[in-house]
Structure 1
Amino acid sequence: MKAIVNGRIWTMSAGEIPGGTILLDRGRIVAVGSSVEVPPGAEVIDVSGAVVTPGFIDAHTHAGICEEGVPEDPDPVNDATDPITMGLRALDAINPSDEAFRNALSSGVTCVNVVPGSANVVGGTGAVVKTWGSTMEDMLVLSHSGMKAALGENPMRVHGRKDRLPSTRMGNAYCLRKALQDAVDYRERKRSAAEKGEHFSLDLGFENMLPVLEGRVPLRVHCHRADDICTAVRVCEEFKVPFTLEHGTEGHLVVELLASKGVSVAVGPTQSSKSKIELRNKGWETLVAFSRAGVRFCMITDHPVIPIETLQVAVSLAVRHGLEPLEALRAVTIRAAEHLGLAHRMGSIQEGKDGDLVVWDGDPTDVRVAPRMVFVEGRLVYEA
């Protein structure tokens, strides 16, 4: 058992606990508060004057697939042979030895969602992993964190050049609808065969989509432009499937719609350049507009588009541009956990949650402040 004592605990769920204590045992937080009794024999770690937060969570990355120091050709994150590749799994391509995970830890990022790229309208399933461990078995949190989909320029450009669907936004929407309808039909054929006791040949792609149809994981739709955002909402509501928006660059232009629908948006990487036409309205005002309207959002790096170690930089810049500091921190902790459906395990410092913690030398919304210690599931895995 470990006891982290005398810290300024920023819980993200119940305010600040000055001079508080956190007890860690068997990978979990077993107690937190201002008057927690430290059991005899516990390892005591005194962090007097330091700020303690939950570990940061990056809800949309390609860490471990687009490896640091490895050329991008061939493209490691897009199997761009067909616009519909729902049988692919990010889990099968993650290299635990990728330097990105070490960089994440040293920057206070303890958990990431790794997703396929956006070349295909349906690209395959993501996986949530901790950033510490030597094997996927050590790191894995969720093997299926949702089905990646994409609207907008990327699938149009990639497949239009090959003279096949989609080459237009109409084609994107058609491909997405067809993939969902084909999955619905597959589910009905499977159900009918089971009722009749007949043999049924499984399709790995449709099997990956079934958890979406059943409402157990979301469709995670890459979209930047406001019209693509509206298309994502329209199609997902037609098929009654849960969904999130990934990037949401022009979300501030349709903020009332997103607020009314209760959509969760993974915003970013806002500090990147405007490298495509659909990014021309990218800016920090999206986050501020979401906060004011009550839209649920988190902040992402889309690593390696922006290096994962700069997630704290995004927090700092968001504050500079008008986002309340606590809202900015929540956007990389509890809101990110909610976006991934993991708020019961992480994102705040509460009894029963994973012991993923960062000890900071000061206010982490100040980019000059660095992590002093990082804990993953109760283990001290980084120390400055």
Structure 2
Amino acid sequence: MKAAFGENPKRCYKGKKIDTRMQISALLRETLAKTKEYIQKKESGKDVDYDQKLEAMIPVIKKQMPLKCHCHRADDILTVIRIAKEYDIEVTLDHVTDGRSIIPQIKESGFPCILGPCLGHKSKYEVKNMSFETANEFYKAGIPFCIITDSPVVPEQYLSLSAALAHKAGLPEYEAIKAITINPAKILKLDDRIGSIKVGKDADFVVCTKNILDTQNEIKTVYVNGKKEA
């Protein structure tokens, strides 16, 4: 389930009572509160009109599904953390462009960070602090994170390049590889199936000519479910 903060919802829904950051957070709080009330009425046996939107939010309230919160600026990230604590829900912090400026607060929250895209233009003011150095700062702080391209913003074929540039900016090589393999699998809670090569896991992997972070690397063979693709 996705929730967006910052300039995107302000721009997309301007004139529809979502013109400020305060209105964005207020709308989310209202939705979460209404969902809790909706659940209580249903579980107590009361007659309640079916609400498709609130039904969709039930897994979020019951922690069966994380709320993927897209946030760039430090104040938006902190708003997400505060709301998640208020309503006792699980969230992922997506983009976290300003994450380096509030490392202690992010670490204390325990929420995983989905970092990126860091490749490309600083297309709006709230991404002015975009940097490949953020990944290493998260690693040193012990914050769980992965690296993304936010495809199609940056094409997904540049995922390994993004990890390579994070390595160039200080992130240890092995940690850069983990940031695009096992780390996202853990955040998705799918690491029992994917993200690494291990007995019992899905045998999806590639054989390369060089290190996956090497820009001269070429993929020689692709295996899906243990079978070589033509």
Partner-residue secondary structure (3-state), 1:275: coil
After superposition, where does 1:247-262 map in structure 2 within 5 Å? 247-262=95-110
Q: Give the % identical residues.
A: 39
Q: Which runs of 5+ in 2 are unaligned?
A: none
SS of aligned partner of 1:154? helix
Aligned to 2:79: 231
Q: TM-score, normalised by structure 2?
A: 0.96
More contact order relative to length (CA 8 Å, sep ≥ 6): 1
For the residue of structure 2 that corresponds to 1:367, the secondary structure is coil
Q: How many residues align?
A: 230
CA distance in 2 between counterparts of 1:192 and 1:209 reads: 18
Offset at 1:157?
A: 1.2
Match of 1:151 in 2: 5
1:192 alignment partner in structure 2: 44
In the alignment, the residues of structure 2 paired with residue 252 and residue 340 of structure 1 have an alpha-carbon distance, to the nearest angstrom, of 23
Give CA-to-partner distance per residue, 1:330-364, whole Å, 9 cap, x none: 00111010111111111111111111111111111
Structure 1 runs (4+) deviating above 4 angstroms are: none
Instruction: Give the gaps of 5 or more residues in structure 1.
Output: 1-146
- Where 2:44 maps in the other structure, the secondary structure is helix
Q: Distance in 2 between matches of 1:183 and 1:237?
A: 16
Residue-by-residue CA offset, 1:8-66 (whole Å, 9 max, x unaligned): xxxxxxxxxxxxxxxxxxxxxxxxxxxxxxxxxxxxxxxxxxxxxxxxxxxxxxxxxxx
If the length of structure 1 is used for normalisation, what is the TM-score?
Answer: 0.58
Match of 1:298, as an amino acid? C
1:201 shift after superposition = 4.0
Give secondary structure in 2 for the equivalent of 1:289. helix
2:182 to 334, 341, 361: 334
Counterpart among 268, 275, 286 of residue 123 in structure 2: 275
- Residue from 217, 220, 233 that aligns with 2:68: 220
Q: CA deviation at 1:206?
A: 1.6
| Equivalent runs, 1:1-384 vs 2, <5 Å | 147-160=1-14, 163-193=15-45, 200-381=48-229
Greater C-alpha Rg: 1
How far the C-alpha of 1:232 sits from its partner, in A, is: 0.3
Higher helix share: 2
Q: How many Å separate the matches in 2 of 1:359 and 1:279?
A: 35
Q: Which has the higher strand share?
A: 1
Q: CA RMSD in A?
A: 1.3
Deviations 1:99-151 (A, max 9, x none): xxxxxxxxxxxxxxxxxxxxxxxxxxxxxxxxxxxxxxxxxxxxxxxx10011
Could you report, residue by residue, the CA deviation over 1:290-318 in whole angstroms, capped at 9, with x for unpaired residues? 01101110000111100011111111111
